[in-house]
Amino acid sequence: MTASYETLKIERTAPHLLTVTLNRPGAMNAMNTRMGEEVRSFFRDFDHFQTPDVRAVILTGSGDRAFCVGGDLKERQGMSDEAWRKQHVIFEESGEAVWRFPVPIIAAVNGFALGGGCEIALSCDFIYASDKASFGLPELTRGIIPGTGGTQRLPRRIGIARAKELLYTGRILTANEALDWGLVNRVCAPERLMQEALATAQQIAKSGPVAVRQAKKSVDRGFNLPLESAMILEIEAYQTPVFSEDRREGINAFNEKRPPEFKNK
């Protein structure tokens, strides 16, 4: 965790927890090439052997206006087709790195989550939102389509018909509408957003970390499989915590009527 970043702020906010802040507040945290590279680098190359105690991450945006408003269109002004394509590969890889990150990520959305910003939030395990937040994928109104998971993760989150309505029209949802549609898990007052996200992250951190990682893998990889295949995947994931020190500690703690002290082993 010695790397320094231009567009991200990394903080250890509590034992076992990190907060990652998209940090371009003057641009409403729009994702330029550098931010894409840094998001990819952090989430893809994070050294779990060097910092194995990290058990949950909160991803948020700097300031109170925006989580992320998507790709930086000022940077893209006049960009050649080839340069656009190369930049988008970076954005694709950054979104995939968030999605594949082995420990849970809570998106704490504090303002606009539009376009690629909404897609980043959708790449997280679940979303908490300020009641001032809003969500949308307006790419079609600019003559393009979402390209970092929006056409795939959004229907899986809210259903295909509602996803099509949002995509085709570019409609922006309020936080409460997003809650009603199943896009977010919780809506909070702005001043309580990070407190609520942190409280949930701390609850996650109390669970067995080996088991949490395996549960995340099982849910994510099994969701779109036929049930029979998904059940096989679940049993494969089940084996890892069974043979862990944490499993033995969890059972001992229960029988000794004390909180477990998991070691992530």
| Distance, C-alpha 32 to centroid of its chain | 18
**Known catalytic membership, residue 119:** yes
Active-site residue (options: 38, 75, 93, 139): 139
Sheet holding 126-130, edge to edge: 8-14, 17-22, 56-61, 105-109, 126-130, 186-188
Separation CA 13–CA 57 (nearest Å): 10
The residue to which tokens 């371009």 are assigned? 24
Give the whole-angstrom CA distance, residue 45 versus residue 58.
17
The residues with which 128 forms a beta bridge, in sequence order, are 108, 186
- Residue 139 among the catalytic residues: yes
Which of 75, 93, 96, 119 is flagged as catalytic?
119
Choose among 88, 67, 70, 69: nearest CA to 79.
88
**What is the length of the chain?**
265
Q: Which sequence positions are flagged as catalytic?
A: 119, 139
